[in-house]
Structures are given as C-alpha cells and as structure tokens.
Amino acid sequence: MVTASLQSATGMRPEVSKKGAFAFGTLLLFSVLYFARPEDVIPGMGYIPVAKISGGLAILGLIFGVGSRFSLKKLPIELRLLMALFVWECLTVPFAWYKGGAFGYVTAKCSKTVILAILIAMVVTSMQRLRKLMYVQAAAVAAMTFASVILYRGGRMGGVLGGVFDNPNDLAINIGMNWPLCLMFLLRTRNPFKKLIWGVGMLFLIRGLMLTYSRTGFLALGVASIFCVYEFGVREKRRYLIAIAVVGVLMAAFFAPSGYGERVGSIFGKPLDVGDSQDARRELLIESLKITAAHPLLGLGPGNFASYTQTWRVTHNTYTELTSECGIPALIIFLFILRAAFRNLKRVRESRLFAEDPEVRLFTGGLWASLAGYVVGAFFASTAYQLFPYFLVAYTTALFNIASGSGQKVQPGKSPLQTWTPNPQLVKVTNPS
C-alpha cells in the first residue's frame, strides 16, 4: 500500500528516487550558494570562486540527473521554450554591438537558466524534494532581509549580502516573489514556534521592502498579496486571512518609513523632484523602445544596452530588456514560457493529488501568487538574465510532474473535491475469511 501511494503521488519508482539523490544534492547546494551567499558572510570565502563552483555543481547535477526518470526527449513545453530562448540568445552574439560582452552574458548567465530548469524538472520528483528546494529559497531571502533591516543605516536599503540582492529594486522584487512562499510555509506548519518564526520573517520582509523605497517591489508585493488573499483566504476558505490582510495594510501604512507614502504615490502622480528615478526610467524605456524599433529581430546583443547607450544603466524593464538586446522573438518566447508556467498550475488544479493533498494546494497557490507578482514587477526591473524567475518556472514544472502521477482530472466547471473518487490502488482490501 505504501509503495502504491508513493508511486501514485510522486509519479516515480522508489529506485528512481534514490538514483537522482546525488543530482538533487548538487541542485540543493547550488540553491544554497545562490540565495544564501555564504561567501559574503563567512570570512575567507570571498576568495573562493563560488560562482564558478555553483555553475560546476549545476552541470554535474545535470549530468547525473540525465539518468533519472526524466527523458530529455520528453521535456515539457516550457523547458523546450527556454532552450529555444537560449539558442536565440546565442544566435544574437555574432551580430551583437559588443560581441565579447554578449558572449560573456550568454555563457555565464543565460546558460545557467537552461541547466537549472532542466535539472529541477528531472530530479525534483517528489513533494519532499520540492519542499526542501523552496524552503531554502524562502528561508534564505527572509533571513537575508532580516539581517539587512537590522543593519540598516539609512538611504535606500540593499541586501546586506550584496550580489544579486545588492540593488534595492532587485531585493524588493525578490521580497515580493518570496513573501507568498513564506506565507505558504507558515500555513503549512502546525508547530506554533515555526509559525512564529515565519510570521516574524514575513513582517521583516514587509519592513525591508519599505526600506528599499522601491516602487517595483511595492507593486510586486501588492499583486502577490492580493493573489495570496484569494488563493489562501477565499479559495481555501480561510476567512480570517482577509481580516488579517486589512489590518496588515493599515499597520503597514501607519509604520511606513518617512517619505515612503510620497514615493509610492508618485507611481500614480508626478515625480517627486527633478532627480527622481522615475524620469530616468521613462527615458530608459523610450530609448529601449527606439532600439527595439531599429533592431527588431536580433537586438543589440545580451547585456549590451548599458554600454551602447552610454548610460551604464539597464532598461529597468524585463520585457524591453529582451526586445532591445535579443529582439522581439526573444520576448515572444519569454512570454510563452510564463504562460506555460501558469498553465502548469492550472493543470495541477485539475489533478487528483490537488484534491487529496492540502500541501499541493498550498504550493499551487503560493507559486501562482509569486508568479503574478513577478509578472507585474518585471515591468520595472531587469531580470531577463537573473535566475530567480526561472526557479519559479521550474517549480511549476516539478509540481505538475508530481501531480500528473495522480491520474484523474476534474470535470469542467467543478472543483476537484466535487469530482474526486478514491483511487482503488490506494485502498487496501482485506479478506475477512
């Protein structure tokens, strides 16, 4: 009975799970190095080429992961699209404005997104593995934000560990994306102490986002929070979350740092002053659109916008970052990748496992809210070559792979709980005679 349950719930055989253990270990270590950044905390580790080591770990995990249950010939559509995006980015290099810079971006950054996504799809074959991977991400971002708030000394707060979180806007959009995951883990645990830890972490995430003074983060967290209320409060009938959300908004407004209200209000009104970054972003947006019109097919080459325009600034818009540097086809592929991720979550809701397992419902809602926050935040942040959005996409692939092993789908227009019937394989039949 236990074996049958495992096979049905995870879609894999126990021996396959063991076979991918090493590959998953390298993936988990890669995630720790990327999100926790121990080289910025532990003395002496700064001299170790952690980025190269993490890249080597990803490749090593991919090599060992090929022998797992996932066949490269049967990659889901979002991973095929991601590979197509990488191929297209490679094709732009010979025609790039600065070929050396474009080649460096493709080899050092774009290649990792493909390796990471395929590796997650191949080796994250159970809810336990998916839970561990998402736990590392949520806990690392929450802990880093906590430390950043404690050590805050004024101005716009960046991540205390630097790296990918050094820029306040990058930190803010990561907070917006990870806040639903922290809420997901808070609702999952029954341990009061763990609930307290996650709750405190979420409060520090909100405080940290405010201290970044990032309008990007405000919009990302705002959209993610709305979806959290719907997914966890309305859909899952936790009505108390709606009341908590209202109280939370009022408290956040009351305890907001000085000038935060005016900065957020400038999203819908005129800039705060002549030097406000909103003016600079508008100019960058216009410039990126002009470059897109001039180079619609291949763009300037990955990473070339800043040097070409001599502004030494990115576009601050993921979508125009892709069109201006890789051409309109790259944006189309990217949008289809995001569409496939949402479709994965929609199809998970049609699975029997979604009806049976509350954890699957929590993970589905959390990822939906995180993706929604990212889609909005990406309008105001350059993340096309960052890894964290592709982590989310790959999580949806893994979750769908796990849920698809449950077999039964729901009838259109009805919830899984209305149409689900017990799986005969999971029912242990005993003969009284």
Round to whole Å and give the CA distance between 281 and 276.
9
How far from 206 is each of 193, 221, 225, CA to CA, in Å? 20, 9, 11
Most confident of 111-115, 158-162, 323-327: 323-327
- Residues above pLDDT 70, as percent of the chain: 77
For residue 303, what are the CA distances in angstroms to 96, 106, 172, 320? 10, 9, 22, 12
Give the whole-angstrom CA distance, residue 378 versus residue 173: 8
Q: Is 351 helix (H, G, I), strand (E, B) or coil?
A: strand
Q: What is the mean pLDDT of the segment spanning 412-420? A: 40
Q: What is the pTM of this model?
A: 0.85
Give the model's pLDDT for residue 65: 56
Q: Which residues is 351 bridged to in the sheet?
A: 409
Distance of CA 353 to the CA centre of its chain: 23
Q: Is the pLDDT higher at 395 or at 48?
A: 395
Residue with more model confidence, 404 or 12:
404
Summarize pLDDT for 31-86 with one digit per residue, the tens.
Answer: 887 787 665 555 555 555 555 666 666 666 666 655 545 555 678 899 999 999 99
Is it the case that residue 270 has pLDDT exceeding 70? no
The mean pLDDT value for 307-335 works out to 94
- Distance (Å, rounded) from C-alpha 294 to C-alpha 313? 19
